[in-house]
Structure 1
Amino acid sequence: MDTLLPPGFVFLISVLLFFSPSNANQTINKCSNATYGPFIQCLLANSIPHSLLYTQGTASYSTLLDFSIRNQRFNTTRTPKPLAIITPAFECHVSAIIGCCRMNNIEPRVLSGGHDYEGLSYVAFGTPFVIINMQNISSIDVNTTDNTAWVQAGATVGELYYHIAEKSKTLGFPAGLCPTVGIGGHLSGGGIGTMMRKYGLASDNIIDARLVNAEGKILDRESMGEDLFWAIRGGGGASFGIILAYKIKLVHVPQKLTIFAKSYNLSQNGSLVKIVSQWQDVAYRLDVRLFIRQFIQVSSDNKGNRILQIKFESLFLGEKEKLLSIMRENFPLLDLQVQECQEMSWIETVQYFAGYTNGELLRALLERKSQFGYSFKAKSDFLTSQIPEFGWKKIWYNLLRSNATVYMIIDPLGGKMDEISESETPFPYRNGSLYNIQYLVAWVDGDQRVVDRYMDWIRDFYEFMTPWVCLVYTRTRDEQGVREQDLVRL
């Protein structure tokens, strides 16, 4: 039997260039000798110190590269490796690196947190490349006078949350759940989170930015112009330059929030399809303070039996009495009880959704090491109409037929997302988009035949979902989206 994953694997981001890995390695080998030396000399001549350079002959090169790779599918002997990893300490270093890359025909890969679903930030196929690791460009300046913050691209979502909580108990930010995701990639692609129904996406709350353009110039909102500023708030920052920092608008949160999680096994609940259908009917129309997502996991028990579990997981910006009133009126089939609700502060909900539920200190949000050391393949969709009951039954049947650990994560939209015009930012999934879905299949190890089987399964499942879905999220595009250069699925 193939090795399966323990429960708990999730999370997001982007794209893969369409080239053959074997051809890519041949191309890099031919080009690297001619470009490597002049490139390094260019960096040194532009005041990039040796201490910030990690070449393939450097002792720490492999350690730093391995630490950067979140999807172990791209940590194989066949995966092309960068000529060097550069860890700029100042924004002016990034400008110099871009200039040296242009002069030597080397492709830069910009790594903020490393959570690209297809390894975009640390892999390039068919061309010599370097990684610009932004980990040192990670300062965060929270201003509670005007409720804003400047956060550099190399900071993580967890670090941002930590620094906000240090300054205020009633301010927060509507970004994602995974604390090790980098700010640069997360905000530039949209940034889905638990407070988006109240406050919109992370990118909807950007009010200024700094980036390096292709000429190496550092621009802010005024100097880049409104067209470019529009593009980097949901269109993917790497398409238009290298994001250095964002100025964001912080949002007000109550002193008490409420969370709950309620799980069902398909084999133990014959009315589950009714519960799911009612959730689907109301979750995108509920009070904007309430976010209820559906998390489906299929795995095998110790006897090899396939188990499908559905968990409803929620954040409410208010106290539990009000939450229970809303649930009784709108989602009675879930039968939520007061003892299933927990009141806590905003930063405690951040820790909860990050998986820190065993009394970890707040400083755990500063940890950059990923909790997941798995290989995975993921895809995403948006729902613009509801899935009928027979559709859910067919979905569950197909999930149970897989021989791997698989997930579906379904997040409701609506609320503030409906109020923002689809042309206001590059993120178009606004009024009329009901839910975002992610599909993931994950594994620990296996030969190429095992990997191919998992990859084929998720592609087949993606096609199976076609009658009910329509679009793909730019932060979770895969290699198919890159080939087609098209977000429309049908």
Structure 2
Amino acid sequence: MMNKSFVFLLVLSFSWVAAYSQDFISCVESRLSNATSISQLIFTPENASFLPIWQSRVQNARFLKDTTPKPSIIVTPTDESQVQTTFLCAKENGYRVRIRSGGHDFEGISFTDYLAFVMIDLINMRSIDVDVASKSAWVQSGAVLGELYYAISQKTNTLYFPGGTWPTVAIAGLVGGGGTGNLLRKYATAGDNVLDARIVDVNGNILDRKSMGEDLFWAIRGGVASNFGIVLSWKLNLVPVPEKVTVFIVNRTLEQGATDLFYKYQSVVPNTKDRNLYIRSQLASEFIGNTTKKTIRIIFQGIYQGSTDMLLPLLNKEFPELGVTREICREMTSIQSTLVFAGRPSTTPTEILNNRSATPRMSSKTKSSFVTTPIPKSGLRKIWRKFFENDLSGGILIIPSGGRMADYSETATPYPHRAGTLYLLASSVNFAGQTSDITPVSLRRLAWLASLEKLLTPYVSRNPRQSYVNNNDFDFGIGADNYTIASVWGERYWKRANFKKLIRIKAKVDPQNFFNHPQGIPVFSAL
């Protein structure tokens, strides 16, 4: 039987929390001049809509469990003044703040915390204003890539944004960590293509690029924007693309020469002088037919910013082993190529990119590294053998670099993985068929992923081993009591010079470290 004293304390605690929430609600009500109903703006655990709203954009299903800490309050603002008011009232009433845009955060930072917090969900702030004449677009932080690409396509087929390929990833999260995609080799990162931004700073002021200053503008384009404030909207540079691009897909197994093919791929694709060519690859193990013997299948997904007639001579000269023929090439618009790289036929109506629920959520754990020298065939065979130990839940995604990326200094933005980087290697396991990520099977999959990460050590960048901050990973360590502790994860994401610069900027714009999380940019008394 539950102790009566404990029940009393529990009831008292809930009463205190309710009163605490009411102070916040009263603060918001007193400051808002518009007619928005508080019941449509603020949601507490007592509201029937609270849990569905929280769950709706937790994109990694491994966080959808009772033990995941949830907000004390969810606010869904519709304009900048509501964001500003929400932030100030949260701060005044002792709450932390988490900002959720798309909900794809790999460690749940945008929607979970162990201390009381207000989650500002930007789901209703998703306006997009495309200006073809100036080759730019103002995009609110709650908008996702699919919506942006669709909005651009409604006005032109000869401009696009060099963002990612997954339609439900939000602009804010992508740009805030740098942002890679199919146009990386031609136009660099998403963060490199930001012209301006509007941000709520720690004092509640709304600043643009001019008023925030170049240091803060530098920091939010790769240093994770939510470390420094709440970005309301971004002015993006739209880049020229041809009316038709060429897309192709090649599948190869080990029995079909995949090892030799991937070995050459590592050198050719990142280093080709034609920046119009981009080929990402994915690999996983599978059973051979109906046998119990496994093989590795590698899928090469290519896109060329030009015609098939231009592509074929290039590949025949530089990468004939790939075997790309005219028959497997498809010319299409850029918006159609987005559908293909999202796993849909090019004939799918593009309106589906506006439907956030059309893209399934995942349940997975991902780790990332950058590769600077080709992995030798002996190393590739070790990786294949490691995959043979897996239960078909593992995979690797390769994002090639090179081209335009080498034109930028590694300190141009916080994203430092520039000249000399061949590709990003993202390894993952999924939890398909499991009720959570802590079942015995799931734990075996996580252990396998950790062993793969260890096996990769000799073949990836070192001193430091580099990782992509948009694939954030708490396994690297958390906390920042001093620079030695923080550098373990901070230098992996940003390298030393950029990490130290981020810390100095943080000390200026948020000296009390209000915007903090387990791998947030720290504030030190001395650096």
TM-score (norm 1): 0.90
Range 318-327 or range 56-65, more displaced? 56-65
Classify 1:284/1:30 alpha carbon distance in 2 versus 1 (closer, same or farther; 3 Å): farther
- CA separation in 2, counterparts of 1:63 and 1:409? 32
For structure 2, the 5+ residue unaligned runs are 1-9, 479-487, 496-527
Classify 1:174/1:29 alpha carbon distance in 2 versus 1 (closer, same or farther; 3 Å): farther
Q: Does 1:42 align with 2:27?
A: yes
1:278-357 aligned within 5 A: 278-286=264-272, 287-299=274-286, 306-357=294-345
- CA separation in 1, counterparts of 2:14 and 2:491? 34
Relative CO higher for 1 or 2, CA cutoff 8 Å, sep ≥ 6?
1
- CA separation in 2, counterparts of 1:246 and 1:237? 11
Classify 1:302/1:68 alpha carbon distance in 2 versus 1 (closer, same or farther; 3 Å): farther
Amino acid of the residue matched to residue 189 of structure 1?
A: G
Q: CA RMSD in A?
A: 2.0
User: Per-residue deviation at 1:372?
Assistant: 2.8
1:103-122 aligned within 5 A: 103-122=92-111
Say if 2:336 and 2:347, in contact at 8 Å, map to a contact too.
Answer: no
Say if 1:56 and 1:83, in contact at 8 Å, map to a contact too.
Answer: yes
2:222 matched to which residue of 1?
Answer: 234
User: Per-residue deviation at 1:304?
Assistant: 6.1
- CA separation in 1, counterparts of 2:16 and 2:410? 43
Alignment match of 2:417 (pick from 407, 423, 429): 429
Range 376-385 or range 473-482, more displaced? 473-482
User: Per-residue deviation at 1:359?
Assistant: 3.2
Range 455-464 or range 281-290, more displaced? 455-464
TM-score (norm 2): 0.84
Alignment match of 2:473 (pick from 450, 470, 478): 478
Range 170-179 or range 75-84, more displaced? 75-84
User: Per-residue deviation at 1:356?
Assistant: 2.2
Q: Secondary structure at the match of 1:207?
A: strand
Alignment match of 1:375 (pick from 363, 366, 372): 363
> Percent same amino acid among aligned pairs?
36
Cα shift readout 1:284-331 (whole Å, capped 9, x = no counterpart) = 011100001111123568776545310011010000111111111111
1:53-452 aligned within 5 A: 53-124=42-113, 126-266=114-254, 268-269=255-256, 271-286=257-272, 287-299=274-286, 306-357=294-345, 359-369=347-357, 371-444=359-432, 445-446=434-435, 448-452=439-443
Name which one, 1 or 2, has greater alpha-carbon Rg: 2
- CA separation in 1, counterparts of 2:370 and 2:17? 41
Say if 1:234 and 1:426, in contact at 8 Å, map to a contact too.
Answer: yes
Amino acid of the residue matched to residue 88 of structure 1?
A: P
Amino acid of the residue matched to residue 105 of structure 2?
A: D
Q: Does 1:457 align with 2:451?
A: no
Amino acid of the residue matched to residue 472 of structure 1?
A: S
- CA separation in 2, counterparts of 1:41 and 1:374? 38
- CA separation in 2, counterparts of 1:103 and 1:330? 61
Amino acid of the residue matched to residue 95 of structure 1?
A: Q
How many residues are paired up?
461
Amino acid of the residue matched to residue 435 of structure 1?
A: Y
Classify 1:330/1:186 alpha carbon distance in 2 versus 1 (closer, same or farther; 3 Å): same
Amino acid of the residue matched to residue 416 of structure 2?
A: P
Cα shift readout 1:89-130 (whole Å, capped 9, x = no counterpart) = 111111111111211221111111000111111111x20122
User: Per-residue deviation at 1:41?
Assistant: 2.1
User: Per-residue deviation at 1:37?
Assistant: 2.6
